[in-house]
């Protein structure tokens, strides 16, 4: 553990480690949510969304890795037991209620919005006080914002396609 790395942080280290472990737990749950979602997904545009879920799962795992490394640099210990992830996470794991694309997209959209608020909170906490954690948090925040945008775009595309199909069906009925 780096002594200087800890000394230059002008924040309550205990509080910072606590919130970083919350984020760490949430990243593992987000990873699994995408991973299992990619396995069970079906429906319209399913294969496209499945590919994106797999990509997102990989990115959530990278976030967990970055947070774990930072926790250790600050002299803390990342949560060691998976059973602690659900206890500590405030962005909860959304058990898939349906294997339909839209349902899974909506659940993951909610999770991304929660992740955005978590990294916004960490950025606010660290701004001007812990440059390194701030840098990591802002990097992750940018990716969570992209994730939210991806799902909003997919949901909008699906809506447009549905409207389009309805119009085609109506046209066929009048011919
Ligand atoms: Fe993440
Ligand atoms: Fe994300």
Residue 172: how many CB atoms within 10 A of its CB?
A: 8
pLDDT above 90 (res 9): no
For ligand 1, the distance from its centroid to the CA atom of residue 46, given in whole angstroms, is 22
Report whether 63 contacts 28 (CB < 8 A): no
Nearest to 136 by CA among 81, 68, 79: 68
Q: What is the mean pLDDT of residues 140-157?
A: 97
**What confidence tens digit (pLDDT) does each residue in 39-88 have?**
999 988 889 999 999 999 999 999 999 999 999 999 999 999 999 999 99
- Among the bound ligands, name the one nearest to the CA of residue 150: 2
Give the per-residue pLDDT at 164: 77
- Among the bound ligands, name the one nearest to the CA of residue 111: 2
Q: What is the largest CA-CA distance in the chain?
A: 78
Q: Please state, in angstroms and rounded to a whole number, the distance separating the CA atoms of residues 112 and 110.
A: 5
Average pLDDT, the chain: 93
What is the distance, to the nearest Å, from the Cα of residue 64 to the centroid of all Cα atoms in its chain?
10
- pLDDT-derived band at 174 (thresholds 50, 70, 90) equals low
Superfamily of domain 11-170: Ferritin, core subunit, four-helix bundle (1.20.1260.10)
- Among the bound ligands, name the one nearest to the CA of residue 27: 1
Nearest to 88 by CA among 75, 98, 97, 79: 79
- Looking up tokens 């795992």 gives 61
- Among the bound ligands, name the one nearest to the CA of residue 151: 2
**What confidence tens digit (pLDDT) does each residue in 20-50 have?**
999 999 999 999 999 999 999 998 888 999 9
Residue ranges of domains in the chain: 11-170
Angle (nearest 5°) at CA 72 between 71 and 76: 70
pLDDT above 60 (res 1): no
For ligand 1, the distance from its centroid to the CA atom of residue 47, given in whole angstroms, is 22
**What confidence tens digit (pLDDT) does each residue in 92-106 have?**
999 999 999 999 999
Q: Please state, in angstroms and rounded to a whole number, the distance separating the CA atoms of residues 134 and 120.
A: 10
């Amino acid at each position: 553990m780096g002594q200087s790395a800890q000394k230059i942080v002008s924040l309550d280290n205990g509080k910072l480690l606590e919130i970083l472990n919350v984020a760490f737990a949430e990243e593992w749950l987000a990873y699994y949510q995408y991973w299992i979602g990619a396995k069970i997904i079906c429906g319209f545009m399913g294969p496209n969304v499945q590919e994106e879920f797999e990509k997102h799962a990989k990115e959530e795992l990278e976030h967990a890795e970055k947070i774990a490394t930072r926790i250790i640099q600050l002299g803390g210990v990342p949560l060691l037991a998976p059973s602690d992830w659900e206890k500590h996470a405030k962005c909860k794991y959304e058990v898939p209620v349906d294997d339909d694309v839209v349902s899974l997209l909506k659940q993951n959209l909610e999770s991304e919005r929660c992740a955005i608020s978590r990294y916004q909170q960490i950025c606010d906490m660290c701004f001007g006080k812990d440059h390194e954690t701030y840098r990591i948090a802002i990097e992750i925040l940018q990716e969570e914002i992209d994730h939210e945008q991806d799902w909003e775009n997919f949901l909008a595309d699906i809506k447009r396609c549905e409207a389009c199909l309805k119009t085609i069906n109506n046209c066929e009925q009048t011919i």
